[in-house]
Amino acid sequence: MRISLRGAFGLAGIAWLAGMVWGQQPPAAEDLLRHAIELHQSGNVTAAIPEYRAYLKQVPGNVMARSNLGAALARAGLYEEAIAEYRKALESQPGNAPVRLNLGLAYYKAMKISQAADEVARVVKEQPSNRQAIFLLADCDLRLGENQKVIELLSPLERQSPDDKALIYMLGTALIRDNQPERGQVLVDRILRDGDSAEARLLMGATKMSVHDFAGALADFQKAVDLNPSLPDLYSYYGMALAATGDTPNAAVAFRKELASNPNDYTSNVQLGVLLKQEENYAEARKCFERAMEVRPGDASARYQLAAMDLLDGHTDEARIALEKLTREIPQFVEAHVSLATVYYRLKRKEDGDRERAIVLRLNAESQAAEPGAKVK
Amino acid sequence: MSRRFANIDRRQFLKSAAAAFALARYGRAGGPHLFEEIPPDASGIHWVHDNAASVDHYLPETMGPGCAFLDYDNDGWMDIYLVNSGPSDFYKPSKPIRNALYKNNRDGTFTDVTEAAGVAGGSFGMGVAVGDYDNDGFPDMFVTAYGRPILYRNNGNGTFTDVSEKAGLGAAVFENHWTTSAVWFDFDNDGRLDLFVCSFVDYGAKSHFSCGDNKLGKHFYCIPRVFKGTASLLFHNNGDGTFSQVSRGTDIEKATGKGLGVVAVDVNNDGRMDLFVANDTVQNFLFMNRGPDAAGKTRWEEIALAAEVGFSTDGRARSGMGVDAADFDGDGWQDLFVANVDQEMFSLYKNMKNETFTDVAFKNQVAQATRLLSGWGLRFFDYDNDGLLDLFLANGHPDDMIDNYSQQVKYKEPLLLFHNDNGQLRNVSAEAGPVFGKSFPARGLAIGDYDNDGLVDVLVGNNGGAPVLLHNNAGADHHWLGVKLEGVKCNRDAVGARLTWPAGGVTRSRVRNGGGSYLSAHDPREVLGVGTAKAVEWLEVRWPQPSGRTERFTSLPIDRYVGIIEGKGVSQSPVK
């Protein structure tokens, strides 16, 4: 869960650093490393980084020092460089779970949630009781929309720790998102036993959202904001409820608040992007979709929105390439076919446009035939 | 019946109207409001729409009513027609329900002449399209319905006759069609008005699908998405009082939709009237009239997707309801407008002159103003006679319980007025008068100058309520020329005619499109605003085919109506 993971990156690095092995170092190199660690522990990562680099120039094979450098780089926000160092460290010790967990964290911080999930999943596989890794993986999966995976991952822990609020909260979120509001509600009730809380309100609101009770959800989210405005995901949900009840200006404000504390929030990025696109603020909308895409690289919605942005910006050929790929991968994606038809017509490829139009008509007809009122005579 | 026109009657009217409305209009500092609501006691219009509201929430209940301005007795004064619900398979009224025809008394009041005119309806009415299909100089009416629509032929003596069956527009033709908006226009340029009729959803022949209970534990109006669409219908006027359905085998029949609004408009300036249809929850249709094939049958090509007016920029179908077309930016090409449901925002499609359009709703403040609204009746017209086409929108949410689910979206919604500032629309609702601060369950909207003062007034049909008549007080310092066109070789109503007029150094142009709005019909006359210019230098009329002739008129009067007869010149007396 994100609450418990915030700051865990640095702590894991330093704690692990404290236990690192010394010895077999040239004296000068040993001094460099000691100094680097002191700087690192004192929080002066900017100064620690060149010390680590200088040390590693002399002792390139020290996995621990390289991992520490990764930790310092990550602490300094240099995630790509941190990832490179962690990867080098893992080349020497591929089975080093703490380093891999740190790599996962670096990916996570770098908004590469999919890669983060891959690395952390390997840690969990090797260390199935590593709660930190489990929580990080669950968080990644939630962001990736892999709700079922979260449920499978956390359900056994829930039986072991039925009163772990953080765990219940995360599992409840996955259940609600997975259209299992009844099970989610049970968890909400469990949280509520200990009194009103932002977490409980958020879950209650999310449950109501899942059954389209937007006004009810909005009231819960408002209460949650009163109780703990810094609760992760809260403003994202709040924004969605505001948008669903028609208050899009405040929805945009809410999404921005979520993104201020958590720029990786996929939902807020997409939702804010859509609102900005409607307001023809294409430049900022594109940034939101691009960030959403970084969080979920293969995500069809983000890819479609970016293609739609290309279409709006007149980058017709870029839109065509993206939409052709998207429609090949997801043949039922009606909106993508609509946009692809538009692209072809703009490119004067009438035959291709007509083919896409026919697909749109067929998909819509199939969808219409499935509507309940269409079957009653 | 008086045939005097314009000046004398207008003065008489203004005298009495001034007395009647003095308190309301001038009772505050700063002069009159742009639009003033005329209460029923002042207008004499006491008719109220019965929406047949029931606990079961049958969808037709929330869809009406339409309304019209028409001069049924040809006296030069706009009368009013209001469409009501009526008996149906789900509604058995406990007391008689009827449509209403109100005759204009030329003093700001109206008299109900429904019974004498024989236009009470009889089925669950929706809307009305007005056109002189038999070219006899008197407007006829096609009343759409959930159930049997009615073609009322105007007998020319203040009465109408239901000629539906005789004309080939009987109940059997419309079986399984819930008809909504309709438009009279001449698609084959043979000089006779043909008829296009929007068909909404397949609501079921006997039993009706229910969407169950909402969270209030009550039945609610189904979103039309759950119902199957239907094909709209096109009828050719045979010239002998009968019509033939000619949409079979064409794109019009192939395009299954849920039609609610239609406007006949020549979008590519090829001299043929095309059709733009707003569909609810499925894509809109743009039927291009490609002219006759080798066998003489008109070819229709549905190009909405290619034209970029079918879906939103997100590739989604919206809930199109009302439509209109006009050259709002004065570039000589007809632009399109669609009103959608809340959260979808309305669309203003600028014509790119190559059979494609670009949505410029945001640039014109329309998108922002309509995000929370659901739009139905609407019309481009020059409310202040500055020569530029402004925009009036009537709104209301279809779900009568929406207030319980949403903090922002309401069942009753405000009217909106946009002023055209040199081709750019600006929302001026806040400064247009107290009526824009009120909310209505609005549906139909018709425009018409009922007091012949050259300022076009507005009529709004409200679901389950009284209509709202709005008197236009704007542009009193602007001049105008009112024109009633009368085709001789072309269709009598001159639908498709283009008017061009220079005044004060600016040349403007306007096309007389067919239909537009939602379930409603407008004053057929064109009021050409010239701003502060003192005269219209000349007026050019390009009549629609089959003549296609262009005539230029000079020495025209100002601030009054004239009649212009194709090939015969100007008449300053009422057009017979």
For the ranges A122-131, A186-195, B44-53, B294-303, the lowest mean pLDDT is seen at A186-195
Nearest-by-Cβ selection for A248 from B208, B371, B404: B371
For the cut 80, the answer to whether the pLDDT of residue A12 exceeds it is no
- Taking residues A26-36, report their average pLDDT: 84
For the ranges A260-269, B93-102, B423-432, B495-504, the lowest mean pLDDT is seen at A260-269
CB contact under 8 A, B406 and A374: no
For the cut 60, the answer to whether the pLDDT of residue A11 exceeds it is no
For the cut 90, the answer to whether the pLDDT of residue B476 exceeds it is no
Instruction: With CA atoms as reference, report the closest residue to B146 among B272, B74, B61.
Output: B61
Nearest-by-Cβ selection for B209 from A274, A308, A372: A372
Predicted confidence band at B369 (pLDDT cuts at 50, 70, 90)? very high
Amino acid at position A238, single letter:
Y
Residue A301 contacts residue A311 (beta carbons within 8 Å):
no
Residues from chain B that touch A341, judged by Cβ atoms under 8 A, are: 305-306
Predicted confidence band at A369 (pLDDT cuts at 50, 70, 90)? confident
Torsion sign (Cα): A262, A268, A274, A275: negative
Predicted confidence band at A350 (pLDDT cuts at 50, 70, 90)? very high
Question: Mind telling me how many Å the CA of B366 is from chain A's nearest CA?
Answer: 11
Amino acid at position B32, single letter:
P
Question: In degrees to the nearest 10, what's the CA dihedral of B240, B245, B250, B255?
Answer: 140
Residue B108 host element (H or E): none
Q: Is B151 exposed, middle or buried (0-12, 13-18, 19+ CB in 10 A)?
A: buried
Predicted confidence band at A6 (pLDDT cuts at 50, 70, 90)? very low
Model pLDDT for residues B31-79, shown as the tens digit of each residue: 689 999 999 999 999 999 999 999 999 999 999 999 999 999 999 999 9
The token duo for A180 is 């299992």
Q: Is B89 exposed, middle or buried (0-12, 13-18, 19+ CB in 10 A)?
A: middle
Residue B142 contacts residue B170 (beta carbons within 8 Å):
no
CB pairs under 8 A between A and B: 105
User: Can you give the pLDDT at residue B27?
Assistant: 32
User: Can you give the pLDDT at residue B215?
Assistant: 62
Torsion sign (Cα): B76, B78, B79, B81: positive
Model pLDDT for residues A325-337, shown as the tens digit of each residue: 999 999 999 999 9
User: Can you give the pLDDT at residue A162?
Assistant: 80
Model pLDDT for residues B215-261, shown as the tens digit of each residue: 677 888 999 999 999 999 999 999 999 999 999 999 999 999 999 99
User: Can you give the pLDDT at residue B576?
Assistant: 34
Residue A166 contacts residue A135 (beta carbons within 8 Å):
yes
Go through A334-345 and write b for each residue having 16 or more CB atoms within 10 A of its CB, e for each that does not: bbbbbbbbbbbb
Secondary structure class of A228 (helix, strand, coil): coil
Question: Mind telling me how many Å the CA of A369 is from chain B's nearest CA?
Answer: 7
User: Can you give the pLDDT at residue B94?
Assistant: 92
By a Cβ cutoff of 8 Å, what residues of chain A touch chain B? 213-215, 218, 245-248, 274, 277-280, 304, 308, 311-312, 334-339, 341-342, 345-346, 350, 353, 357, 360, 364-365, 368-369, 371-374, 376-377
User: Can you give the pLDDT at residue A213?
Assistant: 75
Task: State which residue of chain A sits closest to B216, comparing Cα positions.
Answer: A213
The token duo for B231 is 């094909």
CB contact under 8 A, B227 and A280: no
- Gap between the Cα atoms of A341 and A327, Å rounded: 11
The token duo for B28 is 């505050």
Task: State which residue of chain B sits closest to A280, comparing Cα positions.
Answer: B362
In the block, tokens 């020092």 appear at A65
- Taking residues B544-564, report their average pLDDT: 96
> How many CB atoms neighbour CB A105 within 10 A?
29
Model pLDDT for residues A38-72, shown as the tens digit of each residue: 999 988 888 999 999 999 999 999 999 999 999 99
User: Can you give the pLDDT at residue A182?
Assistant: 82
CB contact under 8 A, B305 and A245: no
For the cut 90, the answer to whether the pLDDT of residue B527 exceeds it is yes
Q: What is the mean pLDDT of chain A?
A: 86
Secondary structure class of B528 (helix, strand, coil): strand
User: Can you give the pLDDT at residue A37?
Assistant: 93
B503-508 long-range contacts (CB < 8 A, ≥24 apart) are B503/B387, B503/B479, B503/B530, B503/B531, B503/B533, B503/B535, B503/B536, B503/B537, B504/B530, B504/B531, B504/B532, B504/B533, B505/B533, B506/B387, B506/B531, B508/B330, B508/B387, B508/B388
For the cut 90, the answer to whether the pLDDT of residue A74 exceeds it is no
CB contact under 8 A, B305 and A248: no
Residue to test with chain A: of B314, B345, B403, most A Cβ within 10 A: B314
Residues from chain A that touch B314, judged by Cβ atoms under 8 A, are: 274, 308, 335
User: Can you give the pLDDT at residue B327?
Assistant: 98
Q: What is the DSSP letter of B436?
A: G
Residue to test with chain B: of A343, A368, A375, most B Cβ within 10 A: A368
Map B22-91 to HEC letters: HHHHHCCCCCCCCEEEECHHHHCCCCCCCCCCCCCCCHHHHCCCCEEEECCCCCCCCEEEECCCCCCCCC
For the cut 90, the answer to whether the pLDDT of residue B474 exceeds it is yes
Model pLDDT for residues B483-519, shown as the tens digit of each residue: 999 999 999 999 999 999 999 999 999 999 999 999 9
For the cut 70, the answer to whether the pLDDT of residue A288 exceeds it is yes
> Percentage of chain A surpassing pLDDT 90?
53
Q: What is the DSSP letter of A262?
A: -
Residues from chain B that touch A312, judged by Cβ atoms under 8 A, are: 313
Of A53 and A25, the structure prediction assigns the larger pLDDT to A53
Q: Phi and psi of B152, rounded to 5°?
A: -100, 115
> Percentage of chain B surpassing pLDDT 90?
88
Residue to test with chain B: of A221, A250, A278, most B Cβ within 10 A: A278
Residue to test with chain A: of B313, B348, B349, B356, most A Cβ within 10 A: B313
User: Can you give the pLDDT at residue A25?
Assistant: 55
Task: State which residue of chain A sits closest to B317, comparing Cα positions.
Answer: A335
> Percentage of chain A surpassing pLDDT 70?
92
User: Can you give the pLDDT at residue B387?
Assistant: 96
Nearest-by-Cβ selection for B406 from A245, A335, A338: A245
Nearest-by-Cβ selection for A341 from B305, B368, B371: B305
- State the complex-level ipTM: 0.91
Model pLDDT for residues A211-236, shown as the tens digit of each residue: 677 888 899 999 999 999 999 889 99
Instruction: With CA atoms as reference, report the closest residue to B108 among B476, B478, B449.
Output: B449
User: Can you give the pLDDT at residue B13?
Assistant: 38
Model pLDDT for residues B12-29, shown as the tens digit of each residue: 433 344 333 333 333 334
Secondary structure class of B561 (helix, strand, coil): strand
User: Can you give the pLDDT at residue A210?
Assistant: 66
Residue B485 contacts residue B542 (beta carbons within 8 Å):
no
Q: Map out the domains of chain A with their CATH numbers.
A: 1-140 (1.25.40.10), 145-195 (no CATH), 212-290 (1.25.40.10), 298-369 (1.25.40.10)
User: Can you give the pLDDT at residue A50?
Assistant: 94
CB contact under 8 A, A215 and B405: yes
Residues from chain A that touch B306, judged by Cβ atoms under 8 A, are: 341-342, 345, 350, 353, 357
Angle subtended at Cα B162 by Cα B159 and Cα B165, rounded to the nearest 5 degrees: 160
For the cut 70, the answer to whether the pLDDT of residue A15 exceeds it is no
Q: What is the mean pLDDT of chain B?
A: 92
By a Cβ cutoff of 8 Å, what residues of chain B touch chain A? 201-202, 204-209, 211, 215, 222, 225-229, 256, 282-283, 305-306, 308, 310-311, 313-317, 342-343, 345, 356, 362-363, 367-368, 371-372, 404-409
The whole model's pTM is what?
0.81
The token duo for A337 is 């076919």
Nearest-by-Cβ selection for A247 from B316, B363, B408: B408
User: Can you give the pLDDT at residue B82?
Assistant: 98
User: Can you give the pLDDT at residue B20?
Assistant: 37
Residue to test with chain B: of A250, A342, A362, most B Cβ within 10 A: A342
Of A96 and A74, the structure prediction assigns the larger pLDDT to A96
For the cut 80, the answer to whether the pLDDT of residue B406 exceeds it is no
User: Can you give the pLDDT at residue B248?
Assistant: 94
